[in-house]
Amino acid sequence: MAEILVVDDDRGMREFLEIMLTQEGHGVQCASDGKKALELCDRKQFDLAITDLRMPKVDGIDFLKGVKETSPGTMVIVITAYASGSTAMTAMKEGAYDYIEKNFDIEDLKRIIQDALAKKEARGDDAEFIKGVKDADRFGKLIGKSSEMLKVYSLINKVAETTVNVLILGESGTGKELVARAIHDNSPRKDKPFVVINCGGIPEQLLESELFGYMKGSFTGAYADKAGLFEIASGGTIFLDEIGELPTILQVKLLRAIQEKSFMRVGGSEDIKVDVRIIAATNRDLMQKVREGLFREDLYYRINVVTIQIPPLRRRKEDIPLLIDFFVQKYARKFGKEVKKISSFSMELLMNYDFPGNVRELENTIEKSVALEDSNIVLPENFSESTQKQDLADAMDMDIPAEGLQLDEEVATFERNLIKKALQRSEGSTQKAAELLHISLRSLRYRIEKLGV
């Protein structure tokens, strides 16, 4: 049973909807205009609101905006006698679930209501799931609680229980294999094999036999029958990394294996049946490769039933401290170091760096720094030169606005920030800060006093 609010200045329509919905087993309250309806929403949470569009005081669109502010989980269906494309678009843009004219068929309305309530229930499940991963800071081996990553977690959660093929898109180093593993580990296939193959890392002449196996004597060196990765993965998941690098001739054989759920070994004459879920990944624009004739369009649509786009690290910088903390602990244990944390200046440098190599580059940076660090804190001395220079480059790369700027003030601000960073990096030692800035201690003290650092 759902709690439903009916909003209409037409008494006959209100009473009709109230009777119909009550007979369906729902709890129903009515309001004659949008103002009264919003007052009811302030006192009670409704699962669904059905509202007229044209009403006195507060019309349907204003009511829709108001209810979405106070109760974003409430589904809203707009009913009107004045249907038009523009009003429909406005209603949908403001968050209406659906839009129907007043000469509606009752069964159509019942279906829309049922669909809306089912959608709300699904959203509720998603909200509980997302709250869980927010609280945990991670999902499987994936780390982060940014809004971008929560979207990824939600999609993983939805597709894991299904058998649909998934295409994971993302730049190099974003964690495409970790996403594939998370899908497998949260699926009914989790106790079956998870098999990984890099389509761009194996020579073309060997790739077919790796994927599909071979029969004894089928080529020089084939001294015994060998099962391919598709056979090994049967019942589980096969992850085809860098699928865009798959040679054209093998694209045909892969398409057949996906469509028929069977294949032949190299040199074989019998079909081998398999039950394999396909997860593919690429950092290339596959559709562009389709347009260029380098990737089969039919295969593209077979592997791309659901797409998961992984954000680059520069678009989820709030996750960097979580990742750094994880990697510092991981490599401190690996190398037997007493390193506990990262210095504030090091953190600032990494937060200001764009990481073209994404999470993999960040992990390599922390691994190297922990391995070479002699103290119990990660300092930036062992960072790459590009990482150390990024902060200065950002400061230098500024435009002059149309109205101009105060040069002396900008230079003073720039100098003040550099001195602050030098002091942070030297843990407050003015002598070390002066050495970092290649000025005398007396000069540094004068600048600190002058600039109010």
pLDDT at 167: 96
Please say if the pLDDT value at position 447 is more than 50. Answer: yes
Q: Residue 395 — pLDDT band, cuts 50, 70, 90?
A: very low
pLDDT greater at residue 368 or residue 347: 368
Domain 3-124 has CATH 3.40.50.2300: yes
Most confident of 280-284, 351-355, 397-401, 425-429: 280-284
Most confident range, picked from 101-110, 251-260, 334-343 = 251-260
pLDDT in tens, 169-227: 999 999 999 999 999 999 999 999 999 999 988 888 789 899 999 888 888 888 888 89
Q: What is the pLDDT of residue 389?
A: 55
Percent with pLDDT over 90 in the chain: 39
Asked whether the domain spanning 315-451 has the same topology as the one spanning 142-309, the reply is no
pLDDT at 109: 87
In this predicted structure, the answer to whether residue 132 has a pLDDT above a threshold of 90 is: no
- Lowest mean pLDDT, pick from 111-125, 190-204, 244-258, 278-292: 111-125
Region 146-174: mean pLDDT is 91
Three-state SS for the chain is CCEEEEECCCHHHHHHHHHHHHHCCCEEEEECCHHHHHHHHHHCCCCEEEEECCCCCCCHHHHHHHHHHHCCCCEEEEEECCCCHHHHHHHHHCCCCEEEECCCCHHHHHHHHHHHHHHHHHHHHHHHHHHHHHHHCEECCEECCCHHHHHHHHHHHHHHCCCCCEEEECCCCCCHHHHHHHHHHCCCCCCCCEEEEECCCCCHHHHHHHHHCECCCCCCCCCCCECCHHHHCCCCEEEEECHHHCCHHHHHHHHHHHHHCEECCECCCCCEECCCEEEEEECCCHHHHHHCCCCCHHHHHHHCCEEEECCCHHHCHHHHHHHHHHHHHHHHHHHCCCCCEECHHHHHHHHCCCCCCHHHHHHHHHHHHHHHCCCCEECHHHCCHHHHHHHHHHHHCCCCCCCCCCHHHHHHHHHHHHHHHHHHHCCCCHHHHHHHHCCCHHHHHHHHHHHCC
CATH topology of domain 315-451: Helicase, Ruva Protein; domain 3 (1.10.8)
What is the pLDDT, as a whole number, of residue 96? 80
In angstroms, the CA 339 to CA 323 distance is 15
Place of tokens 């084939």: 222
407 Cβ contact partners less than 8 Å away, ≥ 6 residues apart: none
Domain spans of the chain, in order of start = 3-124, 142-309, 315-451
* pLDDT score at 19: 93
pLDDT at residue 341 above 50? yes
Quick one: pLDDT at residue 403?
63
Q: Where are the beta strands (DSSP E) in 217-322?
A: 237-241, 262-263, 272-273, 277-282, 306-309
CATH class of 142-309: alpha beta
**Does the reported pTM lie above 0.75?**
no
- Res 393 pLDDT > 60: no
Mean pLDDT of 321-350: 88
Q: Are the CB atoms for 313 and 171 separated by under 8 Å?
A: no
* Mean pLDDT, all residues of the chain: 85
Of 67-81, 90-104, 170-184, 289-303, the range with the lowest mean pLDDT is 90-104
